[in-house]
Amino acid sequence: MAKTLSFSCSACGARHARWSGRCDACGEWNTITEDAPISSGPAGKSLGNKRGRAVALTDLSAEETPPPRATSGLAELDRVLGGGLVAASALLVGGDPGIGKSTLLLQAAAKFAQSGLKTIYVSGEEASAQVRMRARRLGLADAPVQLAAETNLRNILTTLESEKPGLAIIDSIQTMWLDTVDSAPGSVSQVRAAAHELTTFAKRHGISVVMVGHVTKEGQIAGPRVVEHMVDTVLYFEGERGHQFRILRAVKNRFGPADEIGVFEMTGSGLSEVVNPSALFLSERGTPSPGSVVFAGIEGTRPVLVEIQALVAPSPHSQPRRTVVGWDGGRLAMILAVLEARCGIPFAGLDVYLNVAGGLKISEPAADLAVAAALLSAREDAALPAETVLFGEISLSGGLRPAPQTENRLKEAQKLGFTAAIAPAGGKTGTVDGLTLSRPSDLVGFVGETFGAG
């Protein structure tokens, strides 16, 4: 039988049937390399005619004890994990360089170790002395965490097998290498093989493994996407360098809700939890000004109030600028088109700048109405009342669609002292004392009621 070869691009991970000088997927040159098999055995050989052993089968009605969870004591981290760390789970944590991934995981390792979970922290980027220096700065020098500085995955797995910890943190997966894969550390083949070995080891030995992953310029975890499919949980650590806020977001979680967030604040002594993120995001909001509105959003299961700021100014260029921070630029273009087509309010010849205060990134369409209000407020130079919150989705026809969890949004606004809310008609609102609710049916009615035009 002829040997079957497979090749992949080290830049984008695209698979190829044969070698070529240029990758057809990403256009890079000299990046296609032969893949080494992950599993043991001769490369390119099939399983053959030898029969395997029978696998034990159970039915759905069989009652099993749910996997135990270990809580760290960091409420924001436990919330994102779905209530704690599940035994024999594999986690992948990504984030921009210098955002605080290693600081967060070192603090989490110390908390888990102090609660009685045997923890090993393996660094492939720093020496053990450097990790201890950071631990002293964070006040964690007395935490019973075992340290190691190693990049050879064979040595790391041997150590974990003999020590039998409850939690192992690998910082980072791009620095690990296997001597069975003929490629440089950080390549697609090495990252895929290392993630596979660590995930398999975690399932077989009942050890929770946390892997740190670098991110690309587009903000995605570097390496093949198959790594994110291998693990149980994928977390992103987000934040702007100019802000002290950090957001830990779950984008995949087999043991809890996805899109859950935890909010931290970067201080001189490390990361501290933010119990009430809405109050923190609105703490720097001053007197009402044109272009500033408060959006009542939902992140995972938690209602979060955040300020949306807009600036509209005459453009000196033939092509007006559209700049967005913290929101989708394509959705901003859609809102501008709907305002012009359905409400007759043009933005031609005007530069538009939109910003979500505090460094938070919003993805839910319920922010449409708040964005439209901020744009109109900036264009008309008319400030909205400071005690009003807005939320709702805008359709291309100019209609307003209700947002999910309307009652939770209103209760969060009332708790923070807001007295008025503007939301689309429909949706369960419940009874929220002390809150006046305005419910326009479409965008034209909202513009007429709020700005006296439309």
What is the number of other CB atoms lying within 10 angstroms of the CB of residue 60?
A: 4
Element (H, E) at 155: helix 153-163
β-sheet bridge partners, residue 29: 22
Q: Does residue 370 sit in helix, strand or coil?
A: helix
Two tokens at 21? 């000088």
Query: Is the link from the previous residue into 123 a cis peptide, with omega within 30 of 0?
Result: no
- Residue 454 to residue 447: CA distance in whole angstroms: 6
β-sheet bridge partners, residue 355: 309, 325
Q: Residues 6 or more apart from 6 whose CB is under 8 A from it?
A: 15, 16, 17, 34, 35
Annotated binding site for ATP: 95-102
Closest of 351, 352, 356 to residue 370, by C-alpha: 356
- Residue 118 to residue 58: CA distance in whole angstroms: 32
Annotated binding site: 95-102
SS (H, E, C) 391-452: CCEECCCCEEECCCCHHHHHHHHHHCCCCEEECCCCCCCCCCCCCEEECCCEHHHHHHHHHC
Q: Does residue 454 sit in helix, strand or coil?
A: coil
First to last CA, the chain: 74
DSSP assignment string, 36-78: PPSSSSSTT----S---PPPP---TT---PPPPEE--S-HHHH
β-sheet bridge partners, residue 253: 233
Two tokens at 167? 């939690």
Query: CA distances (Å), 24 to each of 14, 33, 181, in order?
Result: 9, 14, 24
**Are 213 and 222 spatial neighbours (Cβ–Cβ below 8 Å)?**
yes
